[in-house]
Structure 1
Amino acid sequence: MSIKFGKLTKFEGVDFRRWQKKMHFLLITLKVVYVLSTPCPEETKDETLEATRHKSKWENDDYICHGHILNAMFDPLFDTYQNMDSAKELWEALELKYMAEDASSKKFLVSDFNNYKMVDSRPVMEQYNELLCILGQFMQHDLKMDESIVVLCIIDKFPSAWKEFKRKVKHKNEELTLVELLGSHLCIE
């Protein structure tokens, strides 16, 4: 198959959700993702030619799916998971291990956001973009926070030199969105 794909980063054991979504898209594109959720067709005594073809196609697609998942892993992980019998077994083993690790990383994300402090010595826009990166990871982990709370938290994180700006923005009557904070206020300052 000579389909050109964007480069899929090999899975190293971190950022599983991102890798999983990219891998899932690749498997959908290859039309083999169904083997992750569909059991192998059972063999019967009076199997028809159609049933034999169906089973053979499933086995071939499982082999392709299994191979692509393994191929998208760094060698130490490949060595660990290569002996799994099916793509579904491999996929479930990865989810079991790395989704649990993702759950603990949620706690660290929240902590990173809460403890982030902007400093006077670096450009505010650069630091603002770092905060947006952390918030982007929130969405990857299905962590939700009301936008008005996010905006107020970011305003509180501005460096001490922005004291007057913080006071002015906090005393406005209307609530700001992240886009409004960036567009109409940060760029102006």
Structure 2
Amino acid sequence: MEIFLKRLKIAYVLTDRRPSIADRQKASFEEIARAKAEVQKWLNDDNLCHHSILSCLCDNLFAEYSKKTKSAKELWEELKSAYGEDFGTSTSKVNKYMQFEMVDGISVLEQAQELCRIADSIKASGMWIDEHFHVSAIISKLPPSWKEYRRNLMREKYITVIMLMHRLRVEEESRNHAEKEGFAHVGELREDNRLELEKGDFKRPTMHSEMEKGNKLITCFRCGQKGHISRNCRQRMVYVREKSSEGNEVVPVAGEPNTGKGMID
């Protein structure tokens, strides 16, 4: 980390005190203006150094230390006291790179970019990382929900970092779109069911309704027509009504014929 800050020419804020113009009140106008410019440059470099240190932290540490309004030196000293003298060294960066794990629930693309930033900080410290090794490391660290996609990527013979980041972006956008479409489809079904219930169109399935679904295949053996069974046939109903009406007529009782005998003239 220190090598990276030295290359940016801002590492001096970790050791040098902030310039002051209080002891230059008797100086000339040009000297005072030059002193103000030095103070402003130191403040700008301190701010840049502070953010550069924060950018190398993991998400949890970044959320913890970004809320503290401290100078770059104070932040540096606090991190060294909390995590040992090897903080910011190439060894700690490599350890952070090897221990990095992707999890579900967070953007995979953002996590891959974070791992790339760690790799860049390792390169800035003077170590060399092979691109093929770095690509393989990113693929191997994909979260559990990407298991099948990780397996497909491992079959590829050669993928550059740029190609991999593009494919991760496309895959993540596709997954997010599919997830939104799934929720929307479920919502539409629920809304349709609610409207049917409000309109009273929802009917509980019955045996008669099940018969109606396949009544086009039914043939009546009484009349030979399709669409109904014999007990619902109109001809049968007419026949039953005729029989019923015949049964209601007065039928003479069988016996001797009435010949008029026994009648009084």
Q: Which structure has the greater CA radius of gyration?
A: 2
Q: TM-score, normalised by structure 1?
A: 0.49
Q: TM-score, normalised by structure 2?
A: 0.36
Bigger relative contact order, structure 1 or 2, given CA contacts below 8 A and separation 6+?
1
